Amino acid sequence: MINSEDTKQEFSLELLREGNKAEFARLVETYSNVIYRLGLKMLEDEQDAEDVLQETFIKAYKALPNFHGRSSLSTWLYRIATNEALMVLRKRKNKGIPVSIDEPIELEAGEMEPLQIMDWCCMPEEELMTSEAVDYLDQAVSELPESLRVVFLLRDIDGLSTRETAQVLDLSETAVKTRLSRGRLRLREMLTVYYGERMAEKKEIYDGQRT
Amino acid sequence: MNKDHNCKHLLTSLSDYVDGTLDQAICDEIERHLGDCEDCQVVVNTLEKTVYLYHKTADAQDVPQDVKQRLFKKLDLEGFLDSGG
């Protein structure tokens, strides 16, 4: 898990606001990894992720003179980066009407259907984390609607708190929790189907060997 | 069926339950329910495992060097590349 503790360095707001290049370079050095990774997970395209990375820091540099430290630097940077990534997603969708991420999510028809109930926790870790399974984990995240995906990425992958995530996305903390819950439950569903198939395959092989 | 109603009603709280951020009252209610409901227990276990797997497999690779170089160039910070941090 990306440890946000590692990125809690002290920066001189004064120097940053003055446009001090050395201090800004330190900021870029500190946050470029997490921002690039966030872009990659949101957009699944290296070029787009690189664009988001560049745009984030270009905008940050321009906006720093007016940054008053009401939120933390990291929250502020995440906010810029997340908005950049969401803009790319919207452009891709090519909709005329901008989609706000705090639109109420309609409950889909399938949302309250019976859950997949199968306990795959007993599977050994090396089976749960084969390279194929890890690829599937990524794929499952990419299949989440963006409003749920972004919350999941910020909370569970980037380790931001509920409060920080709410600030980044301009949502209430309740909305963050609701979306995280929905995102996690959907991922659980997808993983249950996937691991269920793996378990069934294994059983077939085992049964085949016994006869 | 009352049991179904209870399960669905608690479903939306399971994520907070797994994080340990629930009010004591709801937490107790869930734990009482879990004692009686195997299905919900499976959901809780697999939900915890799901979160665990994502934490464990979170990619910690750094920005590729060429991407970093282009970034620093774009920001007019070339002189500061690989200095500290």
Q: Is the dihedral of CA A4, A160, A48, A65 positive or negative?
A: negative
Residue A96 distance to chain B (closest CA, Å)? 31
| pLDDT single digits (tens) A43-54 | 989 999 999 999
Please name the amino acid found at residue A97: I
Could you say which residues from 86 to 105 on chain A have a Cβ atom under 8 Å away from some Cβ of chain B? none
For the domain made up of A4-93, the CATH class stated in words is mainly alpha
Closest CA to A118 of B18, B51, B45: B45
Chain A neighbors of B72, CB-CB under 8 A: 25, 28
ipTM score = 0.87
What are the tokens at A16?
């940053």
pLDDT for position A35: 96
Could you say which residues from 27 to 86 on chain A have a Cβ atom under 8 Å away from some Cβ of chain B? 28-30, 32-33, 36-37, 46, 50, 53-54, 57-58, 61
Chain B neighbors of A192, CB-CB under 8 A: 46
Read off the pLDDT band of A100 (50, 70, 90): very low
Cα–Cα distance measured from residue B53 to residue A116, given in angstroms and rounded to the nearest whole number: 18
Q: Which fold has domain A110-210?
A: Arc Repressor Mutant, subunit A (1.10.10)
Q: At what angle do helices B2-11 and B24-36 cross, to 10 degrees?
A: 130
Cα–Cα distance measured from residue A102 to residue A42, given in angstroms and rounded to the nearest whole number: 17
CB count within 10 Å of CB A118 equals 14
| pLDDT single digits (tens) A119-166 | 999 899 999 999 999 999 999 999 999 999 999 999 999 999 999 999
Closest CA to B77 of A23, A111, A191, A128: A23
Cα–Cα distance measured from residue B72 to residue A54, given in angstroms and rounded to the nearest whole number: 9
Cβ distance of B15 and A120 shorter than 8 Å: no
Domain spans in chain A, listed from the N-terminal domain onward: 4-93, 110-210
Residue A6 distance to chain B (closest CA, Å)? 11
Residue A102 has pLDDT above 50, yes or no: no
